[in-house]
Amino acid sequence: SNELTQPPSVSVSPGQTARITCSGDTLPKEYTYWYQHKPGQAPVLVIYKDSGRPSGIPERFSGSASGTTVTLTISGVQAEDEADYYCQSAGSSTPYAGVVFGGGTKLTVL
Amino acid sequence: QLQLQESGPGLVKPSETLSLTCSVSGGSVSSGSYYWDWIRQTPGKGLEWIGSYCYCGTTYYNPSLKSRVNISLDTSKNQFSLELTSVTAADTAVYYCARESAYGLGGGRIDYWGQGTRVKVSS
């Protein structure tokens, strides 16, 4: 099944590195996208196609993929990075069947 | 710069129909290879995909909502709409419209979102 699993929460101190994982059986065949969602705001795409970074997204945001797990890494976390983060998977060779999101991870900056 | 803006009533009575519109500016809903999505976030929960209108003319719906959802595209007004029938308190949520890029046979990045509109289902 096309389910994506994320840890409910991750906590780090400012300046540390935060790693948020997303696991799913279909991930080896698909690309993963990451969104940052702050309260009262629209979600923002921070990583596309596993490791691409859209223009305007700080370099401290990076993504990687290995097997059935993808990871969003935020290096040198800042207070403004506190938000919910969602992964999404999609494949070019898989007929469209809608948008699949992970359950979301709340990043707390201590 | 593409902009999306949701509009519609903020309060809907149980058993009635929730109707929202997404107005698109800075681009056309009838050009390019995109899916025009509706996504919601219920209180205390994550993002939930409701459905999509494909540039190809096909609609796709979340199986859990399929029997109650209709998404349509109005190219003359450059907007797309959501109808959700027989609503209950469980449909109380912030509703977002968004543009998703097609990639091969599938979808991909969602790089434009509306600001979201809060809808409460209550009598």
Tell me what pLDDT residue A88 has: 95
Non-local CB neighbours of B98 within 8 Å, separated by 6+ positions? B4, B36, B37, B38, B39, B110, B112, B113, B114
Tell me what pLDDT residue B31 has: 86
Q: Is the Cβ of B40 closer than 8 Å to some Cβ of chain A?
A: no
Tell me what pLDDT residue A1 has: 54
Tell me what pLDDT residue B14 has: 97
Neighbours of B38 (CB within 10 A): 28
Q: Is the Cβ of A31 closer than 8 Å to some Cβ of chain B?
A: yes
CA distance A71 to A65: 6
Confidence of residue B93 (pLDDT cuts 50, 70, 90): very high
Residues in A touching B104 (Cβ below 8 Å):
91-93
Higher pLDDT among residues A91 and B16, named by residue: B16
Q: Is the Cβ of A43 closer than 8 Å to some Cβ of chain B?
A: yes
Mean pLDDT of the B23-28 span: 96
Asked if A96 lies within 8 A of B51 by C-beta distance, the reply is no
Pairing, β B69-74 against β B11-12? unpaired
Asked if B46 lies within 8 A of A54 by C-beta distance, the reply is no
Place of tokens 């859209």: A54
Mean pLDDT of the B32-56 span: 94
CB contacts under 8 A, A 77-106 vs B, are 84, 86, 88, 90-104
CA distance A19 to B123: 43
Interior CA angle at B111 toward B106 and B117, to 5°? 110
> What are B53-80's pLDDT values in tens digits?
998 899 999 999 999 999 999 999 999 9
pLDDT, tens digit only, all 110 positions of chain A: 579 999 999 999 999 999 999 999 989 988 999 999 999 999 999 999 999 999 999 999 999 999 999 999 999 999 999 999 999 998 777 788 889 999 999 999 99
* Total count of residues recorded for chain B: 123
- The two counts, helices (H) then strands (E), for chain B are 0, 11
Q: Is the Cβ of A42 closer than 8 Å to some Cβ of chain B?
A: yes
State the sign of the Cα–Cα–Cα–Cα dihedral B63, B68, B69, B70.
positive
Which residues make beta-bridge pairs with A71?
A: A21, A64
